[in-house]
Amino acid sequence: METTGDGILGRLGEKILGWIALGVLILIGVWIWYIGPEGRGNIWSWVWRCSTWLVIVAAVPWITRVFIARILDVSSNWAGLVLLAALIAVDAIAGVCLMERWPTGWWWLAALATLAVAGTYNYLVAEYLSEQSGG
């Protein structure tokens, strides 16, 4: 018989983690209340810009479904590389257009990491679409 950790310690751990999460959410709410209207506006602006970028990054690789069969007909890895480079360039350009200022310090590393994740997503979607097209 397999145990799933649903004993008393598992339930106690869930309760403790739940209360910690609630405490963190309350602290975040109090912090947002104290920063004032300008700070809240900045937070909402950041959330909307990031959400817009995520929607763009999520949607753009699916547009390649229209011409992925033609790229597969080329039978060259260079064609796939050019496709991925173009998708990453679109992601980067969209990110730059949505930024209010250039990142400084450690934010450069965060920007490059998010671009790497977007590139990985582009690759996975392109692989999926090529498999669906018979490639």
Two tokens at 58?
């999520």
Residues making up the chain, counted from first to last: 135
Residue type, 34: Y
What's the predicted TM-score (pTM) here? Answer: 0.70
Rg of the chain over CA atoms, in angstroms? 22
pLDDT tens, N- to C-terminus, the chain (135 residues): 455 556 888 888 899 999 999 999 999 889 888 888 888 888 888 889 999 999 999 999 999 888 888 888 888 889 889 999 999 999 999 998 998 888 788 888 988 999 999 999 999 999 999 888 876
Q: What pLDDT does residue 132 have?
A: 87
